[in-house]
Amino acid sequence: MEYRLTTPVTAEMLAPLRAGDTVLLSGTVYTSRDAAHKRLCGLLADGGEPPYELAGSAVYYVGPTPERPGEVIGAAGPTTSGRMDAYSPELLDLGQKIMIGKGTRSQAVIDAIVRNGAVYLGAAGGAGAVMAEGIKSAEMVCWEDLGCEAVRRLTVEDLPLTVVIDPKGNDLYKSGPAAYLASIEKGVTQNAD
């Protein structure tokens, strides 16, 4: 299935998504990766306010290359999401609804996805130029000193993504390879027949 979604989103909007579906995402997406997650959660632990509204928000784990003059952004593919596993459950419990990245997540993150009706979407790893096509504007939100790791507000239009972990907790990194291997097995059996 293919779904078009616009942020901010609610658990109800995400409920029909299933691992393996395509999502074309539009609206606002915040960039954040290792150092920004550490700062954000440090800030929250000290009783501070997050620098943007977390409820219904989407985060993209990306550290883009510098934009060329006249361009919105440089190459902007996803980084490995697992490094944010330590922080994600807390942010999901505070209302973050969409995480965009690549690579496996911990059971604690999957549990938090299910608990909050959130979703983990895969961007094409290593496709920095393709992913940049869907980004229409980028502006600095905070922590500019972090360079490529600073938090930016992106406006995206039909950003092409794949549902990796759906609100039921189904994980495409398990179900995808299993389904492929089963199809091979079946093919072998059919040939034997």
Partner 1 sequence: MRTVKAADVTETVARLCIKANRELPEDVSAALKAARAAESWPLAEKSLGILCENLDLAREKCLPICQDTGLACVFIELGQEVYIDGDLEQAVNEGVRRGYGEGYLRKSVVGDPLRRVNTNDNTPAFVTVHLTSGDGLRITVLPKGFGSENMSRLQMLKPSDGVQGVRDFVIETVRLAGANPCPPVVVGVGVGGCFDKAAYLAKKALLRPLNVPNPDPWYAAFERELLEAINSLGIGPQGFGGRTTALGLAIEYAPTHVAGLPAAVNMSCHATRRASAEL
Binding of partner 1 at residue 178 (CB under 8 A)?
A: yes
Kindly state the tokens that stand for 28: 């606002």
> What one-character-per-residue DSSP string does the chain give?
-EEEEESS--HHHHTT--TT-EEEEEEEEEE--HHHHHHHHHHHHTTPPPSS--TT-EEE---PPPPPTT-S-S--PPPBGGGGTTTHHHHHHTT--EEEEBS---HHHHHHHHHHT-EEEE--TT-HHHHHHTEEEEEEEE-GGGGGGSEEEEEEEEEEEEEEE-TT--BHHHHHHHHHHHHHHHHHHHHH-
Asked whether the beta carbons of 56 and 95 are under 8 A apart, the reply is: yes
Segment interacting with partner 1 (CB under 8 A) among 9-17, 44-52, 72-80, 87-95 = 72-80
- Could you say which of 52, 67, 106, 157 contacts partner 1 (CB under 8 A)? 67
Which residues, 85 to 104, sit near partner 1 by CB under 8 A? 102-104
- Could you say which of 45, 46, 68, 191 contacts partner 1 (CB under 8 A)? 68
Which residues, 103 to 142, sit near partner 1 by CB under 8 A? 103-104, 122, 124-130, 132-133
Binding of partner 1 at residue 65 (CB under 8 A)?
A: yes
Q: Which is nearer to partner 1, 49 or 68 (CB)?
A: 68
Q: Which is nearer to partner 1, 9 or 123 (CB)?
A: 123
Segment interacting with partner 1 (CB under 8 A) among 7-15, 48-56, 58-66, 135-143 = 58-66
- Could you say which of 79, 88, 96, 116 contacts partner 1 (CB under 8 A)? 79
For the chain, the first-to-last Cα distance in angstroms comes to 33
Binding of partner 1 at residue 143 (CB under 8 A)?
A: no
Binding of partner 1 at residue 172 (CB under 8 A)?
A: yes
Beta bridge partners of 28: 155
User: Which residues bind to partner 1, rule: CB under 8 A?
Assistant: 20, 35, 62-68, 74-77, 79-80, 82, 102-104, 122, 124-130, 132-133, 147-148, 160, 162, 172-173, 175-181, 183-184
